[in-house]
Structure 1
Amino acid sequence: MKFSESWLRSFVATDRSGDELSHLLTMAGLEVEEVEAVAPAFSQVVVGHVLEVTKHPNADRLNVCRVDIGNGTVAQIVCGAPNVAVGMKVPCALPGAVLPGDFVIKVAKVRGIESSGMLCSAKELGIDADASGLLPLAADAQAGDDVRRLLDLDDRMLTLKLTPNRADCLSLTGIAREVAALTGTKAQFPAVASVTVTGSAARSVALAAPAACPRYCGRVISGVDARAATPEWMARRLLRSGLRPISALVDITNYVMLELGQPLHAFDNARLQGTVRARMAQPDETLRLLNGETLTLADDVLLIADDEKALAMAGIMGGNDSAITLDTTEVFLESAFFAPAAIAGRARRYGFSSDASHRFERGVDFAGTLRALERASELVVAICGGQSGPLSEALAELPARPPLRLRTARVARVLGVEFAPDTIAELLGHLALDCQRDGDDFVVTPPSYRFDLEIEEDLIEEIARLYGYDNIPSQPPRAMLSMLAQSEDSRPLPRLRQILADRGFQEVINFAFVEEARETDFADNRKPVRLANPIASQLAVMRSSLIGGLVGTLQANLRRRQNRVRIFETGRCFLRDQAGAPVAGFRQPWRLGGLAFGGAQPEQWGRPARAVDFFDLKADLEALLLPAVARFEKATHPALHPGRTARVVLDGEAIGFIGELHPQWVQKYELAQAPVLFELELAALLRAHLPQFVEVSRQPPAIRDVALLVDYDLPLQTLLDGFAAHCPPPVQELRLFDIYTGKGVPDGKKSVAFRIVMQDTQKTLQDSEVDFAVQKLIDYAQQAFSAQLRV
Structure 2
Amino acid sequence: MKISLNWIKDFVDLDNIDYYKLADKITKAGVNVEKITTYQNDLLEVGLVKSCDQHPDSAYLKVCQVELSDGIYQIVCGAPNINYNMKVIVAKEGCILPGDIKIKKTVIRGIESNGMICSLEELELEEKSSGIYELNKTAIVGDNPYKYLGLDDCIYELDLNPNREDCLSHLGFAYEVGAVLNKNVSKISSELKEIEDSIKNYMHLDVQTENCSMYLARMVKNIKIGPSPEFIKNRLINAGMRSINNVVDISNYIMLEYGQPLHFFDQEKIGNQIVVKMAEENEKVTTLDNIERSLIASDIVISNQDHTIAIAGVMGTKNSEIDDDTKNIIIESAIFNPYNVRYTAIRLNLRSESSLRFEKRLNYEYTKEAIDKACFLLAKYASGEILKDTITYDAIVKNPKIIKVTKTNINNLLGMMLTEEQIEDALNRLQFEYSYQEDTYTVNIPNRAVDINIKEDLIEEIGRIVGYDNIVPSLPSLTIKAGKYNDQTAYLKSISKKMRSLGFYEARTYTLVSYEENLRFNNDNYESIKLRQPMSNDKSVIRKGLIPSLLNVANYNLSHQIKDINIYEISTTYAKHEDEIIEQNKLGFLVLGNYLINEWQQIKIKYDYFIVKGIIERLFDYLGFTNRYKFITNDVISDLHPHLSTIILIDNEEVGYFGRVHPNMVKEDIFVGEINLDKLKNKRSRQLMFKEASKYPSIIKDVAFVIEQNISSDEIISLIKKTAGNLLTDCYIFDIYNNDSLGPNKKSIAFKLTFNDYNKTLTEEEVMIIFGKIIDIVTKKYNCTIRTN
**Given that residues 90 and 134 in structure 1 are in contact (C-alpha distance below 8 angstroms), is that contact kept between their aligned partners in structure 2?**
no
Counterpart position of 1:178: 176
Cα distance per residue 1:647-679 (max 9 Å; x no partner): 999999999999xxxxxxxxxxxxxxxxxx999
**Could you say which residue in structure 1 is the equivalent of 2:294?**
295
Q: How does 1:330-369 map to 2 (within 5 A)?
A: 330-338=328-336, 345=343, 347-348=345-346, 353-369=351-367
1:763 is aligned, of 761, 767, 777, to 767
Distance of aligned partners of 1:335 and 1:693 in 2 relative to their CA distance in 1, 3 Å threshold:
closer
1:250 equivalent in structure 2 = 248
Q: CA deviation at 1:82?
A: 4.9
TM superposition score normalised by structure 1: 0.65
- Report the CA distance shift for 1:739/1:396 in structure 2 as closer, same or farther (over 3 A): farther
Question: Higher mean Cα deviation, 97-106 or 331-340?
Answer: 97-106
SS in 1 for 2:364: coil
User: What's the offset of the Cα at 1:760?
Assistant: 8.2
Amino acid at match of 1:3: I
For residues 73 and 720 of structure 1, what CA distance do their matches in structure 2 show? 123
Q: Which residue of the partner structure matches residue 452 of structure 1?
A: 451
Residue 138 of structure 1 and its aligned partner are, at CA, apart by 3.5
Equivalent residue, structure 2, for 1:274: 272
Rg larger in structure: 2
2:26 aligns with 25
SS at match of 2:370: helix
Query: 1:33-52 alignment to 2 at 5 Å?
Result: 34-37=34-37, 42-52=41-51
Q: Which residue of 2 aligns with 1:433?
A: 432
Q: Distance in 2 between matches of 1:94 and 1:38?
A: 19
Distance 1:322 1:506, change over 3 A: farther
**1:256 Cα deviation after fit:** 0.5
Contact 2:203-2:273 at 8 Å conserved across structures: yes
TM-score (norm 2): 0.65
Distance 1:132 1:282 in 2: 43
Whether the 8 Å CA contact 1:119–1:134 is kept in 2: the answer is no
Bigger mean CA offset, 354-363 vs 328-337: 354-363
Question: 1:4 corresponds to which residue?
Answer: 4
User: 1:102: Cα distance to partner?
Assistant: 8.4
2:213 and 2:485 map into 1 onto residues whose CA distance is 67
Q: In 2, Cα distance between the equivalents of 1:24 and 1:545?
A: 64
The 8 Å contact of residues 720 and 778 in structure 2, kept in 1 or not, is answered as no
Cα distance in 2 between the residues matched to 1:114 and 1:13? 49
| CA displacement, residues 142-169 of structure 1 (integer Å, 9 cap, x when unaligned) | 44322344443663331231332x3322
* 2-structure distance, mates of 1:507, 1:571: 10
Match of 1:138 in 2: 135
Question: CA offsets per residue over residues 725-749 of structure 1, 9 Å max, x none?
Answer: 67665686566779999xx9xxxxx
- Structure 2 vs 1, CA of residues 479 and 657 (structure 1 numbering), >3 Å: closer, same or farther? farther
Matches within 5 A, 1:716-731: 729=723
Distance 1:337 1:117 in 2: 52
1:171 Cα deviation from its structure 2 partner: 0.9
Across the two proteins, how many residue pairs are aligned to each other?
A: 676
Q: Distance in 1 between matches of 2:342 and 2:29?
A: 27
Q: Which residue is 2:468 aligned to?
A: 469
2:326 to 325, 328, 332: 328
Moved more, 689-698 or 357-366: 689-698
Q: 147-156 or 646-655, which moves further after superposition? A: 646-655
Query: 1:561-576 alignment to 2 at 5 Å?
Result: none
Contact 2:264 2:332 in 1 (8 A): yes
Amino acid corresponding to residue 328 of structure 1 in structure 2? T
Check the 8 A contact 2:571/2:585 in 1, yes or no.
Answer: yes
Q: Report sequence identity in percent.
A: 24
- State the one-letter code of the partner of 2:31: L
Alignment of 1:384-783 (within 5 A): 384-402=382-400, 404=402, 406-412=404-410, 414=412, 415=414, 424-436=423-435, 441-481=440-480, 525-526=529-530, 689-692=688-691, 700-703=699-702, 729=723, 756-757=752-753, 762-764=766-768
Q: Residues 52 and 65 of structure 2 are in contact (CA less than 8 Å); yes or no, is this contact kept in structure 1?
A: no
Offset of residue 330 of structure 1: 3.0
In the alignment, the residues of structure 1 paired with residue 223 and residue 650 of structure 2 have an alpha-carbon distance, to the nearest angstrom, of: 95
1:69-88 alignment runs, 5 A limit: 69-70=67-68, 73-79=71-77, 81-83=78-80, 85-86=82-83
1:35 counterpart SS class: strand
State the SS of the aligned residue for 2:390. Answer: strand
Are the counterparts in 2 of residues 262 and 364 from structure 1 also a CA contact under 8 Å? yes
How far apart are 1:695 and its partner, in Å? Answer: 7.3
- Aligned equivalents of 1:647, 1:328: Cα separation in 2: 100
Contact 2:700/2:752, CA 8 A, preserved across alignment: no
In structure 2, the CA distance between the partners of 1:404 and 1:134, relative to structure 1 (3 Å rule), is: same
User: CA 1:282–1:648 in 2, change beyond 3 Å: closer, same or farther?
Assistant: farther
Deviation, structure 1 residue 64: 4.3
Which AA in structure 1 matches 2:309?
A: L
Q: For residue 603 of structure 1, what is the aligned residue in structure 2?
A: none
CA distance in 2, matches of 1:443, 1:45: 55
The answer for the alignment partner of 1:665 in structure 2 is none
- Unpaired segments ≥5 residues, structure 2: 519-526, 533-541, 554-567, 590-615, 632-638, 659-673, 741-746, 758-765
Q: Deviations over 1:86-105 (max 9, x none)?
A: 25544312346466798775
Tell me if 1:318 matches 2:319. no
Cα distance change on mapping 1:121 and 1:655 into 2, 3 Å = farther
Post-superposition offset of 1:115: 2.5
For 2:121 and 2:436, the matched residues in 1 are separated by 58
Q: Distance in 2 between matches of 1:56 and 1:657?
A: 112
Once the two structures are superposed, what CA deviation does each residue of 1:93-151 show, in whole Å capped at 9, x if it has no partner?
234646679877565554543333333456765x4697988652534444432234444
- Partner SS for 2:391: strand
Whether the 8 Å CA contact 1:700–1:764 is kept in 2: the answer is: no
Q: Deviations over 1:669-702 (max 9, x none)?
A: xxxxxxxx99999x98x99944235878878533
How far 1:343 sits from its partner (Å)? 5.3
Cα-to-partner distance string for 1:553-577 (whole Å, 9 max, x where unaligned): x9xxxxxxxxxxxxx9999999999
- C-alpha change, 1:63 and 1:692, in structure 2 (3 Å) is same
